[in-house]
Structures are given as structure tokens and as C-alpha cells.
Amino acid sequence: MNPARKRTVRLTLALTAAVVLAGALIYTSFSAASPALTPSQLIHQARPGISYQLTGTVAPGSVRREGSTLDFSVEDRTGGSAVPVAYTGEVPNPFKEGREVIVTVQKQGGAYVGEPNSLITKCPSKYTVAPPAGAKQSF
Amino acid sequence: MAILGSACLLLALGVCAYGIGASLYGVRRGRPEWSESGRRAVYALAGVLTVAFAVLEIAFLRNDFTFNTVADTSSRTTPAFYRAAAVWSSQEGSLLLWAWLMSMWSSLVLFLTRRRMRDVAAYATAILLGFGGFFVSLMVFYANPFVTTTPAPAEGAGLDPLLRFPTMMIHPPMLYSGYTLCIIPFAFGMGALLARRVDAEWIRAIRRFSFAAWLFLGIGIMLGASWSYSELGWGGYWGWDAVENASLMPWLTGTAFLHSLMIQEKRGMLKVWNASLVLATGTLAIMGTFLVRSGILDSIHAFGGQTLGVPFVILIGVMIAGSVYLVVTRRDMLRSEHRLDSLLSRESVFLANNIVLVGLCFVIFWGTYFPLISEALTGKEASVGPPWFDRYTVPLALVLVLLSGIGPVIAWRRATLANARRNFLAPLIAAVASVPVLLAAGVPGDWKALAMFACAAFALVCVIQEFYRGARARRAMANESPPAALVTLVKRNRRRYGGYVVHIGIAVLFIGVAASSSFQRTIEPTLSVGQSSKVGAYMVRYVKPTATVSPANDAAHTGSTLSLGAVLDVTKNGRHVATLYPSEGFYASDEPSQGSVGSLIGGQPVSHVAMDAGLTRNVWTAIAPDVETPQLKRIVEIGNRTIPFSSPEDGLIALAVLARSYLQHPPPAEFHLIVSPLVMWIWIGGLIVFGGGLIAIWPAPSALRRRAGAFARARTRARGRRDRSGDTAQGLAGA
């Protein structure tokens, strides 16, 4: 085989392998992904047996611990709909009422059960605090 | 002071605008004095931003709460050590740190290249000042660190307790140094393409800075992993979080570039690839910065509620469009001077290593940005978790470790069968033998871990063999002792042998990752005093509770108002191993609704992990004490009713009562107990990697000095011979 033809064959094989691998990557990412929903979306769309990524804020006054289960409600960032979650597993340090969280849940009957160790919270250091009302700001 | 800081920002913006204009005018019109003036504008930018940064740092150290950013992220009770680090915990402060570090590194590279590649450097100056102007504009128009509020609050909100960890002092500066150093090769790469000077000269000029970017980014990533392991209370060091991934992507493409640039230097090949890698690394560094600040992806680290997304999207769009345009229009100049002679050659192995690294980067990019991709394609946001990342990254990491052994020993151009047998026989035997040996030693049969151990054994033997052969050759030539021969070998070719040390470190690091992730044992028991729980081969007994009150008494020196913990006795087969003191710190909040006593402990509770770290395993413990018992809640309620907000000292007395009650009647506490084998080797591997990086980056003595030294040594030897022959002659004469 002449060198030019050899290079073309090699290039074609390499590109084919790359396309196949990229195709597998793309296919598996869609099949393995969990839809990310807000509480109001989850209430309308959740089906039993399917995992969803629930994102929102921890509702004030909703956090209770019973044995190894942590019960809390997640509400829309803008307030309104709230979803009760029963969660077991690691609770990140920043978890707190009013804080933004992401947790993978499944609908079981009328309740939502959190997947163990799936709870993450946004780092609170990165939130800016609004200045007190009436304070004068200058640049 | 705030006025001075704001004036510095405006001045910096003016300096950037002038410098860009001067550099471009100088290079386009052939007026070097203008290009020179543009370069000096970078020094001026560094000076002005140094003043601005000093103003903000002083405001933090002086507790000047008229500065909004100081009031939001610091307080009088925040220890001074952490007040100094609080500067970069806010959006505004971290933008200033970014711009300041970039101006300092840019000044250094432009000073070192002041007599070389004047046209390329002029374009690079304009691009670097463009980035400087972008970040200064963000501060001037969106997130000004010098905004003040009057009257100033009496007390600040305090630094988030999670960030009160020693490595947090250096993690952000290291990471930002890495990001900003990634911009330097980008600017010079663009400069070389614009000036149509795409030979290896520009690569040689920025090689050391590319290495420095890789080194700093790597140190930043390792410090972040260490913080996560030791502070976040979940016992892990990597979670495939979007922001973690954002820092790893430019590190991977930077690693690929550091390998492929050797092929361009030695054989004039892979020019398009190298230019693309440099431009991609710079763009990924900016994308990482964008990801943290845009709030576009959910991450535990992302800055919330910010509006910096649009400016960053525009910048990234310009960077990508400019990169693609320049590479496509200059493709004729970027043709390779040679072709691959054989698939069995060092060039091919480096190319394979590049493909694996870029493949890893692509996998991580796809997984990280999948929520956006999914929303764009299907209209629904969805995300992938750690199992998806592991499915692709584990096999790619195995191949990478294997290639890190093959690369250093395989011949350039074409390897022969004899060469392969000579170089790979011992490593192959080591790899194959390691599996039955480990199984016989009782290591569980997890195929992924065993495959990684075998690949690491292969790589380690390959590289150690290279050191042995090199030192043996030096001994034969110079008649040196083995340690002296090894040191001289490394000193004579720091880049090569520093790189080999990096490969050793990577193999060691992956051994630690494979063992700790595959064979970790973890339990989360609820224990009363006197009760025990078994984790792996270790028995952990809750001996007694501990409690301290007031920031001054906090054993962890993080300024917590109340700290509740436990004394744990760790034994193995009935023999004492360690006594551990995990605790949880409770911090003051600024929420008056919690009451005068409740607000003293109503802030962020943070675990202070206790561990017994060893070379073979770590016993890691954390506690979550129950402070919601009726008795403890009653003490807080009584304190809230009887103690006014104006008497925080009395509030501390109430907390002392609470602590005494907790010690006398300790409620059951939740514990998180982990036994991780070989986790220490991750940090040791990291240290070896960065030690190797330092060896490789360290400037070699100049050729002139080496020649002068050789000449002096030759004269000394000659004189010595003359003297000895003279002595002999005199001796003979005397006889």
C-alpha cells in the first residue's frame, strides 16, 4: 500500500473510532441523565420509579430529623410550591433552611424519597448580602 | 481609602485602553517605541492594581465595615489569619485578585521576553491588556469592591466558617495564578498567529509559563481536594462538581500541550495541534472563571445571584471565533515539517497521550455542560452524576497511566523490537506479577483497582529503570557515587528528569485514588456514650462528650461560639490505635429572630473532622451532635427571654450552662466513620508531581556559566596534574 493511501486509511479508521466513541458518550449521557425540575414542575410531571434532580430552596421551618431520616421541604426559588423530601445519607455542612439545594428524588406513593448521599448545597460564601434598607451607598 | 481604590480601578481601565492602542499602533506601523510603551503599560497596570489590592486588604485587616464587601464577608470575631484571606471570598474581591495576579504574571513574562520576538510580544501585550481591561471593567461596572455604605454596620457578617481552613489561604491564589498563567500562552499563541511567526520560538518563550500554569492549577486543584476531604464533612476529595471540573479541564489540555510541544521543538510537527491546544487551554480557563460567576450551572461552589454571565459569554465567543479564524487562515504556515515515521515511536505515544487527555477533557466538558446541552436539544434540563463520569474517566485514566510509563522510554522516530524488549520486559513482568501478589496479600478482587495497580507498577518500573540507566551511565563516565550520579543526572537535564518525577507522582497518586475509592469502608452510626461501632477492621468507641464556649476557646481556632464534640477511642483487634476528637463548631448568625442566645449559635454549623492518618490507611471521623433536645432548647429559650441583645457576655454564660448540661446528659450523637486505605498516597503523589514540576521549571544554569565552569575545572585538573607530576619529580630527585 502506498504511503498516501495508508495515511488515508489510518485517518478514516481514527475518525470512525472517534465518531463511534462520541456517539456512545452522547447516547449514554441522555439515557443516564436525571431531569432537573423545580418543585412546581415536579408536582405536575413526576412519575413513580424515575429519578429527578430537584432544585430549590429548603423551606423555613420544614427541617426535622427522625432517626437516620432527614425530612425537609424544597420550595421554588421564588416561593410557592413546596415538595416534602425524606432523605438519608450524608448531609453537607452548608445545609440549612433557606439555602439552595439539589437532591435526586424518586416519587414513592405520595412522598418523595431522596437518593442516599445525593444532597448538595450551594456554597453560602458566594451569596452577597443586600445592604440594610435606608443605608446610603457610594462608589 | 475607598476613593483611592476606586480611582485605581478607573486609572487601571485607562492604562489598559492606552496600552492596547500603543501596542497595536507600534506593531502595525513599525514603531517599536510605541510597542515598548505598551509593554510599560502592563507594568503600570500591575502597580495600580497592587495599590488597589493593598487598599482592600488593609480594609479587611482594619475591620472597615464601610466597605460593603468587608461587612459581608468578615467580622471582628473572624480570626486575623482568615480576615486576610476573606478578601477573595467575595465576587468583587476575587475579581480583583484575578486581575491583579494576571497583571503581575503578564509583567513578568513581558519583562523576560523584552528583547525577543518584539512583534509577537506586542500583539500579546495588547491581548493581555484586553483581558486586564475586561476584568477591571467588570469591577467598575458590575461588582466594585470599593462600594461603601454609611453609616457602617457595627459588625460584619463574618467569613463563612467553611472557609476557615488553613489551605483556604492559598487555594484561591494558586488556582487563580493557574488560570491567569493559562492566558499568557493564549496571548502569545494569538500573537504568533497574528504576526505570522509560527516557528518554535514563541513556544520556547512561553514554555516555562505553560509549565507554571499547569503547576499552579494542579496545586490549586489538590488544595481544593484536601479542603473537601478535611473540612466539608463528607469524607470525599472529588465529587465531579461543575466547578471542580472547570479547573480540571484546562489542566488536562495544558498537560497535553506540555507533551506535544516537545514534538514541535524536536521535529517541527503538530503545529496546528499545539496552536489549538494553547488557544483551547486559555479559553477553558476563562470558561472556568465564567462558570463560577454566571450561576449558569448548579454547583456547590458557584457564586449565586450574579449578573456576569453575558459579558463572559461575549468574551468567550470572541476568544473562540478569533482562535478558529487565526488557525484556519494560518493553516498553510502551520504545516508539519515531518510525518510520523512509525506508530511505534515516541511521537506516536505522545500523540496517543494527547488524544486521551483531550478525550478526558471532552468527557468532562460534556458531562459538566450537559444540563445546558440537554435543555438546548430537548427543552428539558437534565444532568449526569458521578457514575456516568466514572464510566468514561476510569478506562481513560488507566490508558493514561500506562502511556506515562511507555512515553519516557520508547525511542524517537521508530522503535525496534530489541528496543521494546529492553525497555518493557521488566515493567511488564512487574505489572503482571503485581496482580497475583496483591490478591495473595488479601487485596479484594476489584478489577478496576487491580488494573490501576498493574498499570501504575508498569509505569513506575519504566521510569525508575530510566533513572537507574542514566545514573549508571554517569557513574561509568564520571566515576561518581550513585547518589551524586543521580543528582548530576537530574541537574544536567532538569526538564526531562523533572518530567519523569512527575510521571512517578501521577502513578503514586492514582494508586491512592484507586485504593481509597474502591476499598473505602464507611458507616454512619448513632452512638450514646460508651457505645461502639465497627468500621472495617477498626472498633470506634464513644468515650465521652466535649464542649467549649466562646471564640477564644475554640480548639480549631475558627472563632466558633460553641463547639460540641466527642472523645473517640479507636482500636484494632483489641489494641489501642488512636484517640480522636471530632467536633462541630456553631457560629453566630445575624438573624435577630433567633433570639439573643439562639443567634450566638444560629449560624452555619461546621464539622471539624478528626482523623488518624497513616501511610496504609486513614481513620476519618466526624460528629453531628444533637442540639435539638428539649433540655438544650429550653436553656436557649430561657436565655432568649431573659438576656438582652446588648449583653452578649451574658449570652455566653447561657451557652456555658448549655455546654455543662450537654456534658452531664449527653444525648446520642450521629457519627460519620470512614476507613480509607492509601488515601495518604494521593497527597504524597501530588507532592511528588509538584516536586517534579519544580525541578522541570527551575532555570538551568546558563550555557555560558556551564562552559566557564567546565573551563575552570579543566584548568584546575591540569594544574593538579602538573603539581602532582612536579611533586613526583621532586620526590624522585630527592631520592
Mean pLDDT of chain B: 87
- pLDDT at res. B294: 60
Residues in A touching B90 (Cβ below 8 Å): 125, 128
Q: What are phi and psi of B367, to 5 degrees?
A: -65, -40
B410 in any annotated domain: no
Contacts of B233 in chain A (CB under 8 A): 90, 92-93
Q: What letter would DSSP give residue B67? A: B
Pair B21, B132 in one domain = yes
- Residues above pLDDT 90, as percent of chain B: 51
Could you tell me if B223 and B121 lie in one domain?
A: no
Instruction: For residues B625 and B526, give the distance between their C-alpha atoms in angstroms, rounded to a whole number.
Output: 10
Query: Minimal Cα distance from B626: which residue of A?
Result: A65
Prior bond of A132 cis (ω within 30°)? no
B383 closest CB neighbour out of A53, A124, A128: A53
User: What pLDDT shows up at residue B27?
Assistant: 93
Which is higher by pLDDT, B176 or B239? B176
> Does B79 map to a domain?
yes
Do B71 and B65 touch, CB atoms closer than 8 A?
Answer: yes
The SS3 assignment for B539 reads strand
Average pLDDT over residues B470-482: 87
Q: Are residues B226 and B356 in the same domain?
A: yes
Test A93 with B146 for CB contact under 8 angstroms. no
CA dist B660 and B605 (Å) reads: 19
Q: Is residue A135 predicted with pLDDT exceeding 60?
A: no
Q: How confident is the model at residue A122 (pLDDT cuts 50, 70, 90)?
A: low
**pLDDT one-digit tens code per residue, B275-319:** 999 999 999 999 988 887 665 555 545 544 456 778 888 999 999
**Interior/surface letters B660-695, b for 16+ CB within 10 angstroms, e for the rest:** ebbeeebbebbbbbbbbbbbbbbbbbbebbbebbeb
Of the pLDDT bands very low, low, confident and very high (cuts 50, 70, 90), residue B59 is very high
- B354 & B375 share domain: yes
Q: What is the structure's pLDDT at B709? A: 52
Percent of chain A having pLDDT more than 70?
84
Q: Are residues B174 and B153 in the same domain?
A: no
The verdict on A53 touching B (C-beta cutoff 8 Å) is yes
In this predicted model, which residue has the larger pLDDT, A81 or B275? B275
Q: B337-384, pLDDT tens digit by residue?
A: 777 777 788 888 999 999 999 999 999 999 998 888 888 888 877 888
3-state SS of B47-58?
A: HHHHHHHHHHHH
Please report which confidence band the pLDDT of residue B53 belongs to, taking 50, 70 and 90 as the band edges.
very high
Q: What is the pLDDT of residue B318?
A: 95
Domain membership flag for residue B390 = no
The confidence score (pLDDT) of residue B606 equals: 82
Q: What three-state secondary structure class fits B317?
A: helix
Residues B696 and B715 placed together within one structural domain of the fold: no
Q: Say which CATH class A34-124 falls into.
A: mainly beta
pLDDT for res A88: 84
pLDDT higher than threshold 90 for residue B592: no
Looking at CA atoms only, how far is residue A28 from chain B in angstroms? 8
Average pLDDT over residues B455-474: 94
Tell me, what's the pLDDT at B320? 95
User: Across the interface, do B300 and A120 touch by the CB < 8 Å criterion?
Assistant: yes
Q: Give which of B183, B15, B206, B210 is closest to B102, Cα–Cα.
A: B183
Are both B538 and B504 inside the same structural domain?
A: no
Look-up: residue for cell 432544585?
Answer: A55
Domain count, chain B: 5
Other C-beta atoms within 10 Å of B159: how many? 27
Query: When comparing pLDDT for B483 and B713, which is higher?
Result: B483
Write the residue in A92, A129, A138 that is nearest to B233 by C-beta.
A92
Contact between B86 and B74 (Cβ < 8 Å): yes
Each residue of B24-51: pLDDT tens digit? Answer: 999 999 999 999 999 999 999 999 999 9
Q: What is the CATH number of the domain that holds B30?
A: 1.20.120
Predicted confidence at residue A133, as pLDDT, reads 38
Exposed e or buried b for every residue in B54-66, given b needs 16+ CB within 10 A? ebbbebbeebbbb
Check B91 against A28: CB less than 8 A apart.
Answer: no
Q: Assess if residue B404 is contained within a domain.
A: no
Q: Determine contact: A51 vs chain B, CB below 8 A.
A: no
**Residue A52 confidence (pLDDT):** 87
Distance between first and last Cα of chain B: 87
Cell of B31: 514603531
The domain segmentation of chain A, as residue ranges, is 1-33, 34-124
Cα–Cα distances in angstroms (integers) from residue B637 to residues B39, B623, B666, B733, in the given order = 65, 25, 19, 107
Helix (H/G/I), strand (E/B), else coil: B89: helix
Tell whether the model's pLDDT for residue A138 goes beyond 80: no
On whether both B627 and B644 belong to a single domain, the answer is: yes
Cβ–Cβ gap A33/B241 under 8 Å: no
Residue B340: inside a domain: no
B247 in the same domain as B100: no
Among candidate residues A90, A135, A48, A40, the one with its CA nearest the CA of residue B147: A135
Amino acid found at B533: S
Is the CA virtual torsion B164, B166, B167, B171 positive or negative? Answer: positive
Q: Would you state the pLDDT for residue B632?
A: 86
Q: Which is it for the CA torsion B359, B364, B367, B368, positive or negative?
A: negative
Residue-range definition of the domain harbouring residue B722:
708-735
Same domain, B502 and B542: no
Could A55 and B526 be called an inter-chain contact, meaning their C-beta atoms sit closer than 8 Å?
no
Provide the pLDDT confidence category of residue A123 given band limits of 50, 70 and 90: low
Question: Is B420 domain-assigned?
Answer: no
Between B481 and A129, the higher pLDDT residue: B481
Q: Judge whether B411 lies within some domain.
A: no
With respect to residue B609, please indicate whether it lies within any of the assigned structural domains. yes
List CB contacts of B443: < 8 A, sequence separation 6 or more.
B449, B450, B453, B519
Closest by Cβ to A25, choosing from B299, B305, B363: B363
pLDDT tier at B134, thresholds 50, 70, 90:
very high
Mean pLDDT for the stretch of residues B1-5: 89
Residue B145's pLDDT band (cuts 50, 70, 90): very high
Q: Which of A67, A123, A128 sits opposite B305 (nearest CB)?
A: A128
Compute the distance between CA of residue A34 and CA of residue A120 in angstroms, rounded to an integer: 15
- What are the Cα distances from residue A127, in Å, to B72, B160, B231, B582? 9, 10, 20, 28
Q: Do residues B122 and B21 share a domain?
A: yes
Instruction: Give yes or no: residues B533 and B676 share one domain.
Output: yes
What is the per-residue pLDDT across B404-426, written as a single tens digit (0 to 9) for each?
Answer: 999 888 888 787 888 888 889 99
Binning pLDDT at 50, 70 and 90, where does residue B221 land?
Answer: very high
Yes or no: say if B315 and B289 are a contact pair by the CB < 8 Å rule: no
DSSP assignment letter at B237: S
* Residue contact B162–A126, C-beta within 8 A: no
CB B190 within 8 A of CB B127: yes
Confidence class for position B152, pLDDT limits 50, 70, 90: confident
**pLDDT single digits (tens) A23-70:** 888 888 888 888 888 888 888 888 888 888 888 888 888 888 777 788
Across the interface, whether the CB atoms of B144 and A34 are under 8 A apart is answered: no
Choose the mutation target among B88, B140, B234 for the interface with A, i.e. most A CBs under 10 Å: B234
Q: Is B379 on the interface with A (CB under 8 A)?
A: no
Under a CB-based contact definition with an 8 Å cutoff, are residues B430 and B485 in contact? no
Give tens-digit pLDDT for B482-511. 889 999 999 888 989 999 999 999 999 999
